[in-house]
Amino acid sequence: PPWERVARVTVPTQIVVGEKSPAGIQVVANRLAKAIPGAAFVQLAGQNHMVGAKALLPVLSHFLKQ
């Protein structure tokens, strides 16, 4: 993604990546989290790129309640 554009995101943003996701996806997720002002970042332990609903639901619920 054009990093200059993502730096202008002004809505609350949650970046979620699985711990076992491919390295390239993890790199992009980390860059997005750093580039988007105030973005929250969560790496889900034991999860791959297809994160399980049971692991994802608590993270999204917490984010949406903020």
pTM: 0.85
- pLDDT number for residue 1: 60
* Helix/strand/coil for 44: strand
Task: Using the predicted structure, report yes or no on whether residue 9 has a pLDDT greater than 80.
Answer: yes
- pLDDT number for residue 2: 84
Given a contact cutoff of 8 angstroms between Cβ atoms, the answer to whether 18 and 45 are in contact is no
Mean pLDDT, residues 2-9 taken together? 91
Distances (CA, A) of 9 to 23, 34, 46: 24, 12, 29
Mean pLDDT, residues 17-38 taken together? 96
* Helix/strand/coil for 15: strand
- pLDDT number for residue 63: 95
